Chains A and B, each alone.
Chain A
């Protein structure tokens, strides 16, 4: 059974509607919150985000939610970052040369076209397989109906300082880290809320994991 409420943080960036829709669909109790004070006690936080990293970071800071996420995270509240929301979990991004929340060690960098084995358009848009590279990656990708694939749309990707924090890989031009995790913090570069049964299963797995923690 679901114990924690899922709180989606609304700081003016990101597709809140799709996330709410998906969490509801899998039977979670989900709420959208735009003020730090309104975050209930026993909850799990979802940090969405699309677009420009620098702008998103600025909005998150100005909304007062950045501080709330960090203070909750350090006391063990589960946090899930999605897309730019994942990127914000890291130390720094080249997009806008801006700092992130520093909850995961590492940086966010643009796709390196020089390393591509063949010329490919950017941003990376479309469905790609995600392969687990760690135990937590395996647990998030458990019980999939088929080989898990997810919808990606991004031009930057994570580079973890600690290899153990990289939990899934995908391939676009080369293999890159597409999901990160460290303790109660999890981040997904792709959009589970737009990835059919694969996304539903992954989010349901995440909820199970955080309720077991």
Chain B
């Protein structure tokens, strides 16, 4: 049904988004730009963004922020909040907003609605009306102070239409954030008397409800907030759009890829190498590359050793898994959950989620939202928790913190910018486990596919002191609540609270290709079009930043791990390495532009970062760098 217009409605507060309940108790949802970009990838019909503080604080719209949001919108964008003059409206239209939403300004004696409609057309003006229902009868609420106005919402809607509003947005305050279902009678009573399209907002509970408010409530569009930003009973933050199975309008159309004007660019920009490992695909792009007499890299040898020592496949592995399961169940007796799992939407963590359910465990799934989720990732997470019936908790990192830290690592010219997120995952998992009294922490890391990674390309994920040191030098403001974990925290969690960490994937014959097939079959899992597709940042980081600035192609580490695990042929890996990281130049430009603008770096700043001489993590203090220094010192001593 093409006339079913569905509109996610997002509430802006500073740089972040929030969601309210009955217009109160805002919950932080994370960075606005990524959320808008996700809705754009989901090809939503339209989007409404309301700045809930602007009018209250007596200020105008945050134009800079809105412009950045608009640049992610390839669909109509309506904006409301703090608009009091035609000049402000004009500026919004210029930077990419299609419609202005007026609420307070439409209530008084002013003529702003008329003025904007006269110049820009009525299609550009939406009048929002806040409605509170008491005992079934609707009342009009003034947004500035929440006071009730002695005027019927229907009469106000009619007046707004007459003044020039092209659409009326009815916001049902009573049901805001409740997900109790739309108040169909309320919307019907208003849509019956106005001729312009009405947008219904407040209380949407599911896909059927969205259809109902249109067919029965007479709305032209169904808008919702909570329904699209929360998942599950625990109201975990997760962007999703309901799927309408009857939307069968593709008949006879042949799919083709996204429109691009550029020819596919196959030029290989990677640096030429002189020496390569005889067994794997490691080469001297690793500054510490060394080979033995047989021409095999020492790192590959180390990986082989690690695999044979620590990997327990077959029966021994099964026994170990049984032990872990029984211990988790025993320690979790009488509690809501007996283990905590990380859930990124990637193959490994998804496979773990499926495994723990099949083992009869009662997991709490923890998802860390660092502001870079991809659409495929949120889609997969939604399917996983729905199909496996797992409780989801989303740990939303304060985007201001993440922004400051990532910028700091870039400015420090360091390679492992991803360790910020990796560290936060570890820290937040322990935090949440402790809060819920969960003893068993299960991570998706596995020795089979991750045994080899050159040390120069990454750094310890457990080093809070290192993160603090880089931030101290390059950070711009104080961190608020970024999850950090120090050695004494580990001791406390492990020794005092008895939290222990397990990895299930190391005890099975984990084969990534087979795993993807199994997940597709059982969970309707959507494979990522490209590697690291769960995060827009990781993709950019591994496929652009590392190769461009450091000449590192992380695939060499991954493929080498797979080769020694017997899951990939060396020839296949070499062939694969010949394919460029970014098959489309335009796509690469779009991704780089997205990261640059999301981190608020100017073109010049970004250029400076890419061309600055590479630094090493050893140049900055940290627990791990200190440990390395001590070891070196120890070796140098004659006794």
Residues of B within 8 A of A84 (CB): 121
Say whether A102 faces chain B, with CB atoms less than 8 Å apart: no
Within the complex, which residue of A15, A51, A193, A195 is in contact with B119, where a contact is CB–CB below 8 Å?
A51
Which of B74, B94, B252, B253 has its CB near the most chain A CB atoms (within 10 A)? B74
Whether the pair A146, B250 counts as a contact (CB closer than 8 A) is yes
Query: How distant is B91 from chain A, measured CB to nearest CB, in Å?
Result: 10
Whether the pair A147, B96 counts as a contact (CB closer than 8 A) is no
Identify which of residues 74-123 in chain B touch chain A, using a CB-to-CB cut-off of 8 Å: 74-77, 93-98, 118-123
- Given A25-B590, A145-B255, A145-B256: A125 and B167 interface contact (C-beta under 8 Å): yes
Chain A, Cβ-Cβ closest to B90? A12
Within the complex, which residue of A25, A121, A123, A153 is in contact with B76, where a contact is CB–CB below 8 Å?
A153
Residues of B within 8 A of A147 (CB): 249-253
Whether the pair B45, A126 counts as a contact (CB closer than 8 A) is yes
Whether the pair B45, A123 counts as a contact (CB closer than 8 A) is no
Identify which of residues 266-312 in chain B touch chain A, using a CB-to-CB cut-off of 8 Å: none
Say whether B196 faces chain A, with CB atoms less than 8 Å apart: yes
Count, chain B residues at interface, CB 8 A: 54
Within the complex, which residue of B74, B95, B98, B121 is in contact with A200, where a contact is CB–CB below 8 Å?
B74
Within the complex, which residue of B3, B77, B262 is in contact with A27, where a contact is CB–CB below 8 Å?
B262
Say whether A2 faces chain B, with CB atoms less than 8 Å apart: yes
- Given A196-B43, A200-B258, A207-B261: A16 and B94 interface contact (C-beta under 8 Å): yes
Whether the pair B261, A204 counts as a contact (CB closer than 8 A) is yes
Whether the pair B75, A121 counts as a contact (CB closer than 8 A) is no
Say whether A139 faces chain B, with CB atoms less than 8 Å apart: no
**Binary interface encoding of chain A residues 163-188 relative to chain B, with 1 for a CB under 8 A from any of its CBs, else 0:** 00000000000000000000000000
Interface footprint category on A = 35 or more
Within the complex, which residue of A15, A21, A145 is in contact with B258, where a contact is CB–CB below 8 Å?
A145
**Binary interface encoding of chain A residues 134-149 relative to chain B, with 1 for a CB under 8 A from any of its CBs, else 0:** 0000000001111101
Whether the pair A194, B76 counts as a contact (CB closer than 8 A) is yes
Whether the pair A125, B261 counts as a contact (CB closer than 8 A) is no
- Given A145-B256, A201-B259: A122 and B195 interface contact (C-beta under 8 Å): yes
Whether the pair B123, A50 counts as a contact (CB closer than 8 A) is yes
Whether the pair A26, B261 counts as a contact (CB closer than 8 A) is yes
Chain A, Cβ-Cβ closest to B96? A17
Whether the pair A123, B166 counts as a contact (CB closer than 8 A) is yes
Between-chain CB contacts (< 8 Å), 22 pairs: A15-B94, A17-B93, A17-B95, A21-B74, A26-B259, A51-B120, A121-B196, A126-B45, A126-B197, A127-B2, A144-B256, A146-B249, A146-B253, A146-B255, A149-B2, A154-B123, A194-B74, A196-B74, A196-B75, A197-B74, A197-B258, A197-B259
A50 to B123 CA separation, bound complex (whole angstroms): 9
Query: How distant is A31 from chain B, measured CB to nearest CB, in Å?
Result: 15
Query: How distant is B241 from chain A, measured CB to nearest CB, in Å?
Result: 13
Which of A18, A84, A129, A154 has its CB near the most chain B CB atoms (within 10 A)? A18
Query: How distant is A204 from chain B, measured CB to nearest CB, in Å?
Result: 4
Say whether A22 faces chain B, with CB atoms less than 8 Å apart: yes
Residues of B within 8 A of A109 (CB): none
Identify which of residues 181-196 in chain B touch chain A, using a CB-to-CB cut-off of 8 Å: 194-196
Query: How distant is B356 from chain A, measured CB to nearest CB, in Å?
Result: 37
A15 to B123 CA separation, bound complex (whole angstroms): 13
Say whether A72 faces chain B, with CB atoms less than 8 Å apart: no
- Given A25-B590, A200-B258: A126 and B221 interface contact (C-beta under 8 Å): yes
Whether the pair B196, A123 counts as a contact (CB closer than 8 A) is yes
Identify which of residues 10-61 in chain A touch chain B, using a CB-to-CB cut-off of 8 Å: 13-18, 21-22, 25-28, 50-52, 55
Residues of A within 8 A of B95 (CB): 17
Query: How distant is B422 from chain A, measured CB to nearest CB, in Å?
Result: 32
Query: How distant is B12 from chain A, measured CB to nearest CB, in Å?
Result: 18
Say whether A105 faces chain B, with CB atoms less than 8 Å apart: no
Chain A, Cβ-Cβ closest to B167? A125
Residues of A within 8 A of B75 (CB): 151, 194-196
A182 to B166 CA separation, bound complex (whole angstroms): 32
Chain B, Cβ-Cβ closest to A200? B259
Whether the pair B590, A18 counts as a contact (CB closer than 8 A) is no
Say whether B29 faces chain A, with CB atoms less than 8 Å apart: no
Chain B, Cβ-Cβ closest to A199? B74
Whether the pair A15, B98 counts as a contact (CB closer than 8 A) is yes
- Given A145-B255, A197-B258, A199-B74: A50 and B124 interface contact (C-beta under 8 Å): yes
A125 to B586 CA separation, bound complex (whole angstroms): 32
Residues of B within 8 A of A207 (CB): 261
Residues of B within 8 A of A151 (CB): 45-46, 75-76
A49 to B570 CA separation, bound complex (whole angstroms): 58
Which of B67, B96, B221, B589 has its CB near the most chain A CB atoms (within 10 A)? B96
Query: How distant is A178 from chain B, measured CB to nearest CB, in Å?
Result: 14
Say whether B538 faces chain A, with CB atoms less than 8 Å apart: no
Within the complex, which residue of B43, B67, B77, B590 is in contact with A197, where a contact is CB–CB below 8 Å?
B43
A126 to B262 CA separation, bound complex (whole angstroms): 31
**Binary interface encoding of chain B residues 54-89 relative to chain A, with 1 for a CB under 8 A from any of its CBs, else 0:** 000000000000010011011111000000000000
Say whether B260 faces chain A, with CB atoms less than 8 Å apart: yes
**Binary interface encoding of chain B residues 152-182 relative to chain A, with 1 for a CB under 8 A from any of its CBs, else 0:** 0000000000000011000000000000000
Query: Which 10 pairs show the lowest CB-CB distances between chains A and B?
Result: A51-B121, A17-B96, A204-B259, A201-B259, A153-B123, A27-B261, A51-B120, A200-B259, A143-B256, A17-B95
**New contact pairs (18) apart from A127-B5, A191-B76, CB-CB < 8 Å:** A13-B120, A14-B93, A15-B98, A26-B259, A26-B260, A27-B589, A121-B195, A126-B3, A128-B2, A129-B2, A145-B258, A146-B250, A149-B249, A153-B123, A155-B122, A193-B74, A194-B73, A196-B74
A10 to B253 CA separation, bound complex (whole angstroms): 36
A191 to B45 CA separation, bound complex (whole angstroms): 13
Whether the pair A15, B96 counts as a contact (CB closer than 8 A) is yes
Residues of B within 8 A of A52 (CB): 118-119, 121
Residues of A within 8 A of B93 (CB): 14-15, 17, 50
Say whether A1 faces chain B, with CB atoms less than 8 Å apart: yes
Say whether B220 faces chain A, with CB atoms less than 8 Å apart: yes
Query: How distant is A181 from chain B, measured CB to nearest CB, in Å?
Result: 19
Query: How distant is A211 from chain B, measured CB to nearest CB, in Å?
Result: 10
Say whether B263 faces chain A, with CB atoms less than 8 Å apart: yes
Within the complex, which residue of A2, A18, A144, A149 is in contact with B98, where a contact is CB–CB below 8 Å?
A18
Identify which of residues 1-59 in chain B touch chain A, using a CB-to-CB cut-off of 8 Å: 2-3, 5, 40, 43, 45-46
A69 to B404 CA separation, bound complex (whole angstroms): 48
Query: How distant is B47 from chain A, measured CB to nearest CB, in Å?
Result: 10
Query: How distant is A49 from chain B, measured CB to nearest CB, in Å?
Result: 9
A17 to B73 CA separation, bound complex (whole angstroms): 11
A27 to B265 CA separation, bound complex (whole angstroms): 14
A1 to B260 CA separation, bound complex (whole angstroms): 10
A184 to B260 CA separation, bound complex (whole angstroms): 22
Chain B, Cβ-Cβ closest to A148? B253
